[in-house]
Amino acid sequence: RILIGGEIRDKGFDSIPVFSTCHRESGEVQLGTTPHVSVEVIKEAVDAASKAWARGLGEWPSARMEDRIQGVIKFRNGMLEERELICRLLMWEIGKTWADAQGEFDRTIQYIDDTVNEVKNLDRESSGFKFSGGVMAQIRRAPLGVTLCMGPFNYPLNETFTTLIPALIMGNTVVVKLARYGQLLWEPLLKVFKDSFPAGVVNVINGQGRDIVGPAVQTGKIDVLAFIGSSKVANQIKVAHPRPSSFRSILSLEAKNPAIIMEEANIDLAVAECVRGSLSFNGQRCTALKMIFVHKKIAKEFTEKFVQKVNGLVAGLPWEPGVSITPLPDVNKAAYLTGLIEDAVSKGAVLCNPERGGKVVGQLFFPAVLANVSLDSRVAHEEQFGPVVPIREFEDMQEVEEYIINSPYGNQASLFGEDPEKMGEMIDHLSNQVCRININSQCQRGPDVYPFTGRKNSAEGTLSVFDALRAFSIRCMVAAKQDANGKQ
Ligand code: G3H
């Protein structure tokens, strides 16, 4: 169903079946249906959000912060009651392990709690009066307007909420357009949204993004784009706006995070972190390690241990004990990943685990480890977003630095080593190229209170509890002149 203007609708749109990615090999199991709305319906959702915004004078944008927080807390408590169902839907629909599905849910609740707490600091930053140059000022934070929130399929709940919650708390109104997969978990939330917020403040629709999002943006009624996905899609959406300069974008996009393993590194630690970093949730994370550079002196040992660990990973259904490699939700992904492997091998790479690497069973794709990867190969540059791990030896750090400097992305990097001087130098170089350097550990976004952003094509604006509240608002002030006697 969809939610528009406080009304949960079950008709007026096409419905398409949603199948469990976990059951494709044994015959498709339909979990439910998802709405595919027309351009007219998405425009209705935009109109509902626009009406609730009411040019900034609506009930929600004008409400006191304490009242908005109460709405968000009511929503959080209602969502908590749906925990079991939401986690099961996450597991069945996108193949998250039971532990990861619960982790995503609990992290989302934590994100809401942290955001509510952070508002107090925002209040402190804004409250009270400031005096300077004969002007007394009261600084306030004001909402931006109608926000279009579009999250990704890999964290359909958590990542969407990293924009939705701060947008709401700051007084914006929202249209949520669901991700490609991970849609059914929103169904139990519709009533919770309806019961927690005034009509039109949150509207939830789903449909074929490329057909409906452009026309919705062309209405000129959307003020903010909060999008997590590819830079190509983000650019297509941005150019659709009739007044691009008045359209704020908060974007979290692609990445090609490298791991750099220096010759003094603790190899066992680097192997353990790199396996987790490149293959958690089958490598379908923007923060996954997507290219591993290992120093020539330790490359053989590192690669052997890495392959051994990867071959020990258990592939299966997400509720089975010990499983970490699970079915991929995207039906076209296996063909794409196979193409990357073939291209790399044709350019000199070695598939290190040919018995299992790259094998496809239903929607399962067993992780492939590629060594001796040429920088001409596609997998060295494309964001694979799946279980294919490219490894390349280096002797001269300059080659690695050139790769990072020339990359169109700049999200994170992992640096493994024990020599403080070399590490310090490399950290200084990397910090002007990426936005988080992980020392002797994999790349990751959390804890979510830390800033999450990227350079180049990896992001626009910064997310995190603290930064997102600022991103979804504008700093305004009320100013009064003072005369020489301090009177206004
Ligand atoms: O896909 C991008 C996510 O924000 C990654 O989050 O590092 O916690 O898995 P994570």
Q: How far is the CA of 3 from the centre of ligand 1 (A)?
A: 28
pLDDT, tens only, 119-177: 988 877 766 788 889 999 988 899 999 999 999 999 999 999 999 999 999 999 999 99
* Residues framing ligand 1 (Cβ under 6 A): 154-155, 159, 285-287, 444-446
pTM: 0.96
Atom 6 of ligand 1, nearest CA residue: 445
Alpha carbon dihedral 412, 417, 418, 424, in 10-degree steps, equals -50
Ligand 1 atom at minimum distance from 284 CA: 1
Instruction: With CA atoms as reference, report the closest residue to 286 among 443, 107, 108, 101.
Output: 443
* Confidence (pLDDT) at 117: 95
3-class DSSP state of 184 = helix
ipTM: 0.96
Atom 4 of ligand 1, nearest CA residue: 445
Ligand 1 site-directed mutation target among 286, 383, 436, 465, most atoms within 8 Å of CB: 286
* Confidence (pLDDT) at 127: 67
- Indicate if the alpha-carbon torsion angle 96, 98, 99, 102 is positive or negative: positive
For the chain, report the end-to-end CA distance as a whole number of angstroms.
Answer: 55
Q: How far is the CA of 285 from the centre of ligand 1 (A)?
A: 5
Atom 7 of ligand 1, nearest CA residue: 444
Cα-to-chain-centroid distance, residue 355: 33
Q: How far apart are CA 55 and CA 58, in angstroms?
A: 7
Ligand 1 site-directed mutation target among 155, 383, 385, 452, most atoms within 8 Å of CB: 155
Which segments of the chain have a pLDDT < 50?
none
Burial of 105 (0-12, 13-18, 19+ CB in 10 A): buried
Q: How far is the CA of 103 from the centre of ligand 1 (A)?
A: 12
> Cβ–Cβ contacts within 10 Å for residue 205, how many?
23
